[in-house]
Amino acid sequence: MKKITIKITTLFLFTLLLGSCKKWVDYNPREDFRITELDYLQSETDYRTMAISVYTPLQWINQVVPIGDIASDNAVSGGENASDVLSLQQIDDYTHTPVNSALTEIWQSAYEGINRANYMTQYKAANVAGKAIDFAGKEALYGEVYFIRAYYYFTLVKMFGDVPLFVEKRLSLTESKSLQRTAKAEVYKQIEIDLNAAIAVLPAVQQQKGRITKYAAQALLGKVFLYQNKFDAAATVLESVITANAFTLPSNFAATFLAAGENGPESVFEIQYSNTSPYYNWPGYNRGQGNYSAQQCGIRGLNGTAAMPYAAGWSTNLPTQNLAAAYEAGDQRKAVTVLDIEAYKTANPSFNITYQVAPYKNTGLYNQKYLPRKGETSGQLELNYTNNFRIIRFAEVLLMAAEAYNRSTTPNDTKARDYLNRVRQRAFGDLLHNSSASGIALKQVIWDERRLELGMEGDRFFDLVRTGQAATKITGFVTGKHEVFPIPQLEVSISGLTQNNLY
Amino acid sequence: MKCKITILCLVIFLGTFLQQALAQNLSVTGSVKNKGTGESLAGATILVEGSATSTLTDANGRFAISAAKGSVLVISYTGMTTLRYTVTGSTTGEIQLEESATTNLGEVIVVGYGVQRVTKVSGAISTIRAADIDKLKPVRTEEILQGRASGVNVIQSGSPGSKPTVLIRGIPSFSGTDPVVIIDGVPQTLTDFNSINPIDIESISVLKDAATTAIYGVKGGNGVIVVTTKSGRKNQKAEITVSSNYGVQQVMNTIGVLNATEYAAMINEGSVTAGGNIIFPNLSTVGVGTNWQNEVFKNATFQTHTISARGGSDKMSYFLSAGYLNQGGIVGGNDKSRFNRGNFTANLSFNLTSKLTFIVNTTGVLLDSKGVQENSFNSVLGSALNFDPTVSVLNTVPNTVGKYGFSNLLLSEIFNPLTKLENTYNKNIGNKLYGKFELQYEVIKNLTLTSRFGYTKYDGNAKGFTPLVFYGPLNVENSMNADGSQVAGRFNTVSHEKTSNFNYTWETFGNYNFTVANDHNFETVLGVSVAKTSGNAAGASRQDVPFNSWEFADFTAATGNNTATNSNAVAGYYYQYFRRNLSYFTRVNYDYQSKYLASFTARRDGSYAFGSDNKFANFLSGSLGWVASSEDFFKSDFIDYLKIRGSYGSIGNENVSPQFVGIVTGGPSYGPTANSNGYTFGDVFYPGSTVGSAANNALRWEKQLQMNVGFDITFYKNKFSLSADYFEKKVDGLLFTPSASLYLGTVPIPTANIGSTSSKGMDVTLSYNETIGKSFRLNTSLTFTTSENLVTATNSDGTAKILGGGYFNGQSQTVTVFEKGFTPGYFYGYRTNGLFQTFDEITKAPTQAGAQPGDIRFMDMNNDGAITAADQTKIGDPFPDFTLGWNVGLEYKNFDFSVFTYASVGNDVYRAYERNANYSNKSRDVLGRWTGPGTTNDVRTPRYSFTDANSNIRVSERYVEDGSFVKIKNLQLGYTFPERMTKNVFSRLRIYAQVRNAFTFTKYTGFDPEISGGILDTGVDRGAYPQARTFSFGLDIKL
């Protein structure tokens, strides 16, 4: 009897084992102490911390700025030789093709930013677990997110034209290869929606420097209107930035481009860089906290005394003599925009400067606004320069407003001239160089002034395209093709997107 | 006694009653003895051929069985040659069995979750027996498999105790190719072979095809090595064995490098050719200098000692063993490089009741090893090959610290190898406990339930010390100044790491064997397995060790504290991991009169790592066999036995980790995609958070389909036996990153199962046994292993290239590639076509930047008129076309002699140990360099100059050599003392002399053409630790 019991028990246990414990192979990442999206967005802090990383890819798309000048008559690619920084060489020479690492990086980084913003908006009303998290300032925080998403789309649309548009969610692997390009006008419509939503909720002043303000959103909206030739709307929105009296033009133009001048009185929107989280990751060279493009434009083999302020670099993005010659005598902006190294060396014998003449496409000039400077980097020195990109300065707001008034359905050249001359007065430090032009002539003056004021800040190429001057100003520019850059080849071959015309 | 026999008879009677109730049988009795020792064999199996009737011998070797007159008894005993006895009457008398070295037809072999008679196996299995293992006295078990188990490719390493490359049937992947190791039914890994004493092993079965491995499902894809350790037998008299082996290891050969005068002359020439100055103005004073290889290679000890006892009583049996092994390293000697191991094993089996058996196997292992930097140009050996030969061994320069000489020419990377050795301090202590608890319950006859809990527990404790070192006054890598003071900003560091892991497998299964209508025999198994592996590690390091000495190298003694400028003074880390699996499995073996064989296996595996859509996977396999020689129509005096086999099935590999949508927080990402976080406001960095990983719910195991056909034949009076197998396998689902839309952003794309490879090949084993006269015996066996491998798919657009074999020779280079359309891990580089002799040749040749006469002429493979990166192509293959193992054993009276030869044919080696710095030493080949038109056209000896605009050092055929080799791996001569001399003290005493790695025949110019590594590192010789030649003496005693 007893033995039978043992037998039956054994058999029973045996069968029981066979049928049970499927949960054994379930997996919860918490067992590995890993945070998943189900655990996150549970508090105000989570939302605020995640919003910070929506900003992050702004730093990664730094090559938009050098490309804006290299693709224009402002700068050449430079570098060590014809195959150094090939992606920029080809853009300079107008031989660029869909295979271009710099363009691919901009495309992918901007979309990472969009996906990060989308993830925030996707879980705005309720988090992934379905719970609503409300806190004071949540709307204003989302104003920043809307602005940044608009900025990413604006970057994409001005570079590539029609691009895939999605705002509902962060795409997952299953949505790979599922999208086609959306018409430029539709993308602009979404940008306007986001910027208007941002303007409605953003504060005029932010405690932390570099956070998006209402004025930044208005200024960007004005720029977006200009790019669409919506001058009346542009004038209105830009006027509100100017009349707010929140910004001024400091008389010393050079000061704006020093470290001390970052986020200064004329700063409307700057992309922030720092060296306080040192970066070492060469494979992700332009995805750290530092401004990689500063290292790029430095002078090769530069050496000098401790007092000499500049650090060495790679002689890329060299201003042209054509740009230097565009400045009138007495314009303080020339020396701030282009550095004639030989003249500088002669003028400062005490610095004992030695340097290597730029080995390729030498112009003798360097991008003074964003030159790498000693002591402004850390970690892997090449990757951690602190130079902020001055994306929208008040001077540009004035010039944009001037252009908007000049080109409105009912032009207001008085206002246009007034705004233009505020910029010129700062440049020359007097009233003698004020413009008195009007009508079409004034329009050209404003356009030319943009080149001088914003030289080496990455706007020139896009301005030339926007104003229809590209074919006459840029050697190699083919109308109907080069207004936009090619869609990255990988995206065409993987996702099946159509390619831009003639590429 | 009589009672026992009665009971036995009764059991047999009951057991056979159902099947054979009406058969008229004799009750046959007899006894079984060991022919060699005369000892009675308890527990030998007596089987009536063609039936399920069987019995075991009792403590005195006696048996009784019911059998019909004329039927055949098959008497088998593990490790002995099986004997067949035809029943003529009611007694068999004394049956004597001989000890065997090779697999025999009557034997049983251990397969997954059971044993199987060799004659009934229809899958592909290679088997190794204790006799072979005992003879080799290997450090690691894999050594025994090399050349002895067909279908297994073992590439050994010379570093003491290190893990070799083991490939069973081809190369399925660029990673994760290790077979599964099962020790006494408990899953372990190849790495764990460092802790089993090979002398404790009874047998090894290598399961090769789907039919045999599918029972291990998702773990079986790379083949399975089933190890069975020794155990005692019931009612066995205690048998105590002592075995001891002591030897000396030495390096087999050194590499020809320049002596000091030759070196100085070459340096002068290189400098002058490049437009520089004479470096050594007076060659006559230089002399022959120092050969650094002679300084770093030391003779090292090798010893193994084992004492073991086995035996048993009525109710229990035991195997107890204690072993010690010491393998010193020939690079630097025992002090700097070594592998020591202590093993303690107790394998115990208790019969708790007549039906319930409790088995406890326990092994404790202590590991103690030290190592030197290996396999790179700046390792100890790399430095010995590349360091300045004009430097004297000892430092003679006044007012400089440092015992050994320094170079004023080589100022970084390559150091005096003795200085490197002297400053190498580390130790690795490991404790491992592994084994099993097993309950076997016989529910009814032939139905046994087994529940087994197997475990491995390991604790490792490692310490390393990086002292401050002075390498020479001009050296840029000094951390110590010439006066012994610390270089500012440099610190000595002590680092500790403790690792711990615990793996267990709990398996419950039932075996039921039955026979239907006399001739239809079934062996079935059904079970469930639950497994978990887990582990963690913690480490800490600290700078400023007192007195810069190993004696005080400990975290507690070091005094470093973090400051604003030095955040590395004190550092620590911790991590943990785990895996879980759940499996169900079943197998049915069927045979009809042992003539027609069939087997079916199914396993259902669940893994915690698979995506939610694929939590479980099914693996099925089947095999068929036909013993043609058992057919009535098969009449052959020549062929004694012939079986034809075939199998097909699926198996897998679980080389995936769970994927999920994770949130990362903090700052920058250092991953390859740099999906960074955080932003700066003003000048202050603020950490952020974002989605940092993505999930692929379709993630699954790697799937293999494998086909096998083969045959086993014995012929010429059972003297020859031949097994041959042909296999084809297709591996699907290798992990690759799919090509995904860029607009998904920069979150790393999760890997998916999209790669595939295919392999096909042959395994052959041929053996021959002969006895001439009374006193001469010969046994010899030959194995042949070959496989062809091809990568058939990688990522979704087929463009992925996995690069490996990285090394540095002045540029960072990679030489191996895993790529669609090629063999895995092939060498990739430029093909060469001699040397340019004249400028005219250069102008007429495809454009080759920087070329001058005397430079290597590279080949324009894509015919675009220029030598570019696109011209790189396949220049070699590190894996052999085939390997051969040949074992010869001779016995004459009391002498025995054995030779084991291993050959690997068609494997290329990439010579990557040459640093090519201006002042590094060079191979003697450079003496035959190009010096003018017509002097030489050999790509291995281009012109010599400090500047190399042509990049003669790029990855090219220049460095590829045929690494085919034949090695006499083992030579042994033994003498067993006659029983009459020893019987009062020992039951057996044998002494022997052994030479391991006696000779190597190869064209390869480096140390050793056998270069192990992963799939992407095999065959890349960065100065790999060569295998040592070992001379040893030993004795084996049975008390």
Cβ atoms of B191 and B176 closer than 8 Å: no
Residue B205 pLDDT = 93
- Asked whether residue A39 carries a pLDDT value surpassing 50, the answer given is yes
Cβ atoms of A450 and A442 closer than 8 Å: no
- Asked whether residue B435 carries a pLDDT value surpassing 50, the answer given is yes
The answer to whether A167 faces chain B, any CB pair under 8 Å, is no
**Between B702 and B726, the higher pLDDT residue:** B726
Angle between helices A413-428 and A394-407 (to 10 degrees): 150
- Asked whether residue A18 carries a pLDDT value surpassing 70, the answer given is no
How many degrees, rounded to 5, is the angle at CA B80 between CA B154 and CA B714? 70
Give the nearest partner residue to B510 out of A14, A57, A116, using CB atoms. Answer: A14
CA pair distance A106, A110, nearest whole angstrom: 6
Q: What are the φ and ψ backbone dihedral angles of B919, each rounded to 5 degrees?
A: -105, 10
Residue A400 pLDDT = 98
pLDDT class for B12, splitting at 50, 70, 90?
very low
Contacts of A8 (CB under 8 A, 6+ apart): none
Residue A5 pLDDT = 56
pLDDT class for B78, splitting at 50, 70, 90?
low
Say if residue B567 is exposed, middle or buried (CB neighbours under 10 Å; 0-12, 13-18, 19+). exposed
Residue A9 pLDDT = 61
pLDDT class for A8, splitting at 50, 70, 90?
low
- Cβ pairs A/B, distance under 8 A: 234
Which range has the worst mean pLDDT, A102-106, B39-43, B271-275, B342-346? B39-43
Mutation choice for B interface testing from A26, A105, A274, A291 by most B CBs within 10 A:
A274
H helix runs in B590-698, sequence order: none
**Between B59 and B939, the higher pLDDT residue:** B939
Closest approach of A101 to chain B, Cα-based (Å): 13
Q: Which amino acid is at B472?
A: G
Q: Which helix (H) or strand (E) holds A115?
A: helix A101-122
Closest alpha carbon to A315 in A357, A373, A369: A357
Residue A1 pLDDT = 44
Contacts of B989 (CB under 8 A, 6+ apart): B976, B977, B982, B1035, B1036, B1037, B1038
* pLDDT per residue as tens digits for the range A462-477: 999 999 999 999 999 9
Q: Which helix (H) or strand (E) holds A2?
A: helix A2-19
* pLDDT per residue as tens digits for the range A62-99: 999 999 999 999 999 999 888 788 899 999 999 999 99
Closest alpha carbon to B77 in B202, B198, B262: B202
Closest alpha carbon to B248 in B1036, B1034, B1035, B1037: B1034
Residue B14 pLDDT = 37
Q: Which amino acid is at B922?
A: K
pLDDT class for A2, splitting at 50, 70, 90?
low
- Asked whether residue B7 carries a pLDDT value surpassing 80, the answer given is no
CB contact (8 A) between residue B582 and residue A108: no
Contacts of B259 (CB under 8 A, 6+ apart): B288, B289, B291, B389
The residue assigned the tokens 């993830």 is A119
Q: What are the φ and ψ backbone dihedral angles of B644, each rounded to 5 degrees?
A: -115, 135
Closest alpha carbon to B605 in A484, A438, A20, A22: A22
Residue B13 pLDDT = 37
- Asked whether residue A457 carries a pLDDT value surpassing 90, the answer given is yes
> Both ends of chain B: CA-CA distance in Å?
27
- Asked whether residue A234 carries a pLDDT value surpassing 90, the answer given is yes
Chain-centroid distance of CA A464 in Å reads 18
Which range has the worst mean pLDDT, B564-568, B588-592, B882-886? B564-568
Dihedral angle of Cα B538, B542, B548, B552, to the nearest 10 degrees: -60
What's the average model confidence in pLDDT over B528-542? 95
pLDDT class for B654, splitting at 50, 70, 90?
confident
| 3-state SS, one letter per residue, for A174-220 | HHCCCCCCECHHHHHHHHHHHHHHHHHHCCCCCCCCCCCCHHHHHHH
* pTM for the model: 0.84
How many degrees, rounded to 5, is the angle at CA B528 between CA B525 and CA B534? 135
> B276 pairs with which residues across the strands?
none
- C-alpha R_g of chain B: 32
Between the CA of residue A304 and those of A254, A311, A374, what are the distances in Å? 22, 9, 11
Q: Which helix (H) or strand (E) holds B889?
A: strand B882-892
* pLDDT per residue as tens digits for the range B477-522: 899 999 999 988 899 999 999 999 999 999 989 999 999 998 899 9
Say if residue B743 is exposed, middle or buried (CB neighbours under 10 Å; 0-12, 13-18, 19+). buried
- Asked whether residue B20 carries a pLDDT value surpassing 50, the answer given is no
CB contact (8 A) between residue B742 and residue A115: no
What's the average model confidence in pLDDT over A222-246? 97
* pLDDT per residue as tens digits for the range B743-780: 999 999 888 888 999 999 999 999 999 988 888 999 99
Written as six digits, the tokens of B85 are 């006895």
Mutation choice for B interface testing from A5, A9, A17, A175 by most B CBs within 10 A:
A17
Residue A143 pLDDT = 98
Angle between helices A138-160 and A184-201 (to 10 degrees): 160
Residue A81 pLDDT = 84
Residues from chain B that touch A55, judged by Cβ atoms under 8 A, are 679, 688
Residue B19 pLDDT = 39
pLDDT class for B23, splitting at 50, 70, 90?
very low
Contacts of B281 (CB under 8 A, 6+ apart): none
* pLDDT per residue as tens digits for the range B196-235: 999 999 999 999 999 999 999 888 889 999 999 999 988 8
The answer to whether B578 faces chain A, any CB pair under 8 Å, is yes
pLDDT class for B532, splitting at 50, 70, 90?
very high
- Asked whether residue B950 carries a pLDDT value surpassing 80, the answer given is yes
Q: Is B937 helix (H, G, I), strand (E, B) or coil?
A: coil
How many degrees, rounded to 5, is the angle at CA B113 between CA B108 and CA B119? 25
Contacts of A256 (CB under 8 A, 6+ apart): A250, A264, A266, A267, A390, A393
Q: How is residue B805 annotated by DSSP?
A: -
CB contact (8 A) between residue B530 and residue A21: yes
Give the nearest partner residue to B662 out of A7, A11, A29, using CB atoms. Answer: A29
Percent of chain B with pLDDT over 90: 69
CB contact (8 A) between residue B679 and residue A276: no
Residue B51 pLDDT = 75
Tell me the average pLDDT of chain B: 90
- Asked whether residue B1 carries a pLDDT value surpassing 50, the answer given is no
Q: What are the φ and ψ backbone dihedral angles of A100, each rounded to 5 degrees?
A: -150, 110
- Asked whether residue B133 carries a pLDDT value surpassing 90, the answer given is no
Cβ atoms of B898 and B135 closer than 8 Å: yes
The answer to whether A277 faces chain B, any CB pair under 8 Å, is yes
Closest alpha carbon to B518 in B628, B445, B594, B442: B594
Closest alpha carbon to B319 in B262, B357, B360: B360
Residue A6 pLDDT = 67
Contacts of B269 (CB under 8 A, 6+ apart): B944, B945
CA pair distance A322, A73, nearest whole angstrom: 7
Interface of B with A in 592-651 (CB under 8 A): 606-610, 615-616
Residue B77 pLDDT = 76
CB contact (8 A) between residue A289 and residue B685: yes
- Asked whether residue A12 carries a pLDDT value surpassing 80, the answer given is no
Written as six digits, the tokens of A131 are 């719970």
Q: Which amino acid is at A287?
A: R
What's the average model confidence in pLDDT over A420-449? 96
- Asked whether residue A47 carries a pLDDT value surpassing 50, the answer given is yes
Phi-psi region of A88 (alpha: psi -120 to 50; beta: other; left: phi over 0): alpha
Closest approach of A490 to chain B, Cα-based (Å): 8
Written as six digits, the tokens of A369 are 């606004």
Residue A486 pLDDT = 97
CA pair distance A253, A426, nearest whole angstrom: 7
The answer to whether B586 faces chain A, any CB pair under 8 Å, is no
- Strand B812-813 to strand B816-819: parallel, antiparallel, or no bridges (unpaired)? unpaired
CA pair distance A272, A58, nearest whole angstrom: 9
Give the nearest partner residue to B668 out of A39, A273, A279, using CB atoms. Answer: A279
The answer to whether A137 faces chain B, any CB pair under 8 Å, is no
pLDDT class for B72, splitting at 50, 70, 90?
confident
Tell me the average pLDDT of chain A: 94
* pLDDT per residue as tens digits for the range B877-904: 999 999 999 999 999 989 999 999 999 9
